[in-house]
Amino acid sequence: MSGKPRVWVSRPTFADIVARLEPYFEVTEEPVEQVFSGAELAARLAGQDAAIVGLKERIGAAEVAAATRLRIVANLGVGYDNLDLAALSAAGIAASNTADVLNESVADYAWAMMLGVARRMNAAERWLREGHWHATEFTAWLGLDMRGRTLGILGMGRIGQAIARRAAGFGMPVIYHNRSRLPAGDERECHAGYVDKERLLRESDFLMLALPLTAQTRHAIGAAELALMKPSAVLVNVARGGVVDDAALASALRQQRLAAAALDVFEGEPLVHPDLLRQDNVLLSPHIASASRDTRRAMTALAVDNVLALFGHGPHAGRPPTILNPHVLAS
């Protein structure tokens, strides 16, 4: 057996990028995508020095209890709610994410979803495929124009700002709410105005969610928040499942208290609330907002860079570029 440190990669990625690890590590890459139980994760992490994982791998104290050699968990995603950061830090394990490299791709997809649901493209395509198109009716399939409508963004980090910058081409005024207000220069670049959350909900014609999932943001959009929105409004979620109370959203859509929704993420995914599946005014997508070839390759490369750096290799040697808990490096 090799004396090199060991890296476990939890899913197939891109062989040429993972190959960058091979001069320095013994690499084990899973051949197929699968969902691991906690016990299976613990077994795979035991004896590993590093791991590259995705959002399906939920890793906390139990999963790393026997992983006495583990020094870093590199997450393939900008969000890291699948990682118990406190537990990893307590065990002296670094964690990293893939911040920044997916901002533009996710923003593009968010706009695609917003445009698609506004013009009812998902329902129209399904209707056509089912063989219902025998004539064109002038007043059929009427959607929503976006020009001049107000775009609201809840969560104005890098992805939220990338979404906002695209609004100028559609002539949409932008308002936003964030945990902290952006510097004035960033607001000018995004042509965005800061408002409190209640005003955001009341005034948005299209409400885009781009905030992380934390204990504080779980169900940030629930029944009370949906009740504040215009009945003509459209909700788009490219953030995380759990930011929205899916049952409350399904009820609001069914009762026409909200015009439409476009969702790339869900509570309990891959399960989707059955009431959302039944409604034509919802565009559904299987958590693929970052799924362009270039972006997924960049995400893999950044995860590899983080692992290499922690072990003293590559251009970032000694300092993983997107480490989430840098204090562990000093311990």
User: Which residues are known catalytic residues?
Assistant: 240, 269, 287
Neighbours of 32 (CB within 10 A): 6
- Find residue 59's DSSP bridge partners: 83
Q: How far apart are CA 327 and CA 95, in angstroms?
A: 11
| Amino acid present at 96 | S
Which residue bears the tokens 């909900």? 201
Neighbours of 317 (CB within 10 A): 12
* CB contact at 8 A, 287 and 302: no
Nearest to 29 by CA among 94, 16, 91, 299: 16
Q: How far apart are CA 17 and CA 74, in angstroms?
A: 14
- Find residue 97's DSSP bridge partners: none
* CB contact at 8 A, 287 and 265: yes
* CB contact at 8 A, 276 and 246: yes
The sign one gets for the Cα dihedral 272, 37, 295, 181 is positive
DSSP-assigned letter for residue 132: -
| Amino acid present at 200 | L
Beta-carbon contacts of residue 185 (< 8 Å; ≥ 6 apart): none
Q: How far is CA 258 from CA 123, 225, 266, 268, 283, in A?
A: 17, 11, 18, 23, 14
